[in-house]
Chain A
């Protein structure tokens, strides 16, 4: 996915919106902060989440960091390949490093997230 067209949360998650589905992961800034990721604890498919609720956790060098749902809805897919090899979250966060897909309960929530320019600005703070 092209980072320019994604939407961003303040917690450094991104959402790539296609129709009613948001493909979510953590940003390049977030993966850099975490360092080498050793483990991704994926959410359960079918889980209903509200925007901002903890979806799953990512572990890097003995630090477990929570990942939040950037939009409300139901988890409809998870990137199972990360269970065997979490490296894409570091190497390709906007591509093979996606973590879960949410079927959005309210598509307007995605529009309330930051665009790339706004996210760049907070990252540089």
Chain B
């Protein structure tokens, strides 16, 4: 019986949640049959630098960030620089890839699909990009202005075939905070949120419920234990 243990952490700072992830990675290494999904809105807001993240992609000065109450953290996930803050639904699935998804490539693709399926339920058409473009994440046409924009970012890490870190879906995110960075090292593409696409604030708990259901279906969990 495969159970997905979902932990709704609510608003929480980055550091303690990272510690929680590390602890759960250790747990899953010992008990590969266990799987977890942490859902969190990072508060205070935080800029994280992935393995390839450089200080050059943080545009705001440390003083300005301190004024705004934005933390800066290095992270062992893939990718470059990103922003997390209130109104953004961050998901950290911690599972053993031997049991779920098998490949790292498949895991990232599955996460993309879970996000696309979730957005579709809310009436937002979203898509992934051609892998050759190296623009992993989930994109949508950005009304009211033209062109496409990133609505969710993905950055995972794998330790002994246990994956951690995950995704960040902009639900009601204050998008002006993305001006503090060069998101994912991409200078010429914008970011958007569900609220912007749908023209109003969304119920983040409803989005979380849909994400959990879609995630459990994608990874074929037989049941979900909510905490």
Contact = CB atoms under 8 A, between A and B. Distances in A.
Nearest to B154: A62
Contacts of A57: 51, 76
A contact face: mostly helix, strand, loop, or mixed: strand
B159 A63 contact: no
Interface string A58-93: 011111111010000000000000000000000000
Contact of B78 (A11, A32, A36, A63): A63
B158 interface: yes
A41 interface: yes
B108 A66 contact: no
Given A33-B104, A33-B106, 5 more contacts: A32-B103, A35-B108, A60-B104, A62-B155, A66-B160
Nearest to A33: B103
B137 to A, nearest CB: 7
Interface residues of B, number: 28
Contact of A39 (B51, B136, B159): B51
A59 B158 contact: no
Interface residues of A, number: 20
Interface string B14-57: 00000000000000000000000000000000000011100000
Interface string A15-44: 000000000000000001111101101000
A12 B36 CA distance: 24
A28 B223 CA distance: 34
B102 interface: yes
A14 to B, nearest CB: 16
Contacts of A64: 50-51, 76-79, 155-158
- Return the 7 tightest CB-CB contacts between A and B, nearest first: A35-B105, A64-B78, A33-B103, A65-B158, A62-B136, A62-B78, A63-B156
Contact of A61 (B50, B102, B108, B161): B108
A97 to B, nearest CB: 17
B103 A35 contact: yes
A34 B156 CA distance: 12
A32 to B, nearest CB: 7
